[in-house]
């Protein structure tokens, strides 16, 4: 299941931005047998966008909670399907 995760930094999270923290995020996704397709820094309402693939809704919840604990960043998770699959579903 692909998921677009949009993150917002807290004041404390901004203070601890680092390459090492990014590596920990990657390891966390791998621990859940997930895959990262893309990670972007944004300018605007959200600060980060991750496109990841996980096996279940439960894994999405686990990742979101563990990311918040690890980084202090709050995430909104949006499950997504490919447009081709969407077209099949709607006929």
Looking at the chain, the whole-number percentage of residues with pLDDT higher than 90 is 95
Residues linked to residue 49 through DSSP beta bridges, in sequence order = 6, 40
pLDDT digits (tens, 9 = 90+) for 16-26: 899 999 999 99
Q: Hey, what CATH class is 2-90 in?
A: alpha beta
pLDDT tens for 11-54 read: 989 998 999 999 999 999 999 999 999 999 999 999 999 999 99
Residue pair 52/5 in contact (Cβ under 8 Å)? The answer is: yes
Q: Are strands 74-80 and 48-53 parallel, antiparallel or unpaired?
A: unpaired
Domain ranges of the chain: 2-90
Positive or negative, the CA dihedral 84, 79, 74, 18 is: negative
């Amino acid at each position: 299941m692909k998921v677009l995760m949009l993150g917002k930094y807290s004041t404390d999270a901004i203070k601890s931005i680092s390459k090492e923290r990014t590596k920990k995020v990657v390891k966390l996704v791998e621990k859940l047998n997930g895959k990262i397709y893309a990670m972007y820094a944004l300018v605007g309402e959200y600060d980060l966008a991750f496109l990841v693939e996980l096996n279940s809704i439960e894994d999405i919840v686990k990742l979101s909670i563990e990311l918040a604990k690890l980084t202090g960043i709050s995430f909104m998770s949006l499950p997504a399907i490919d447009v081709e699959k969407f077209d099949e579903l709607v006929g």
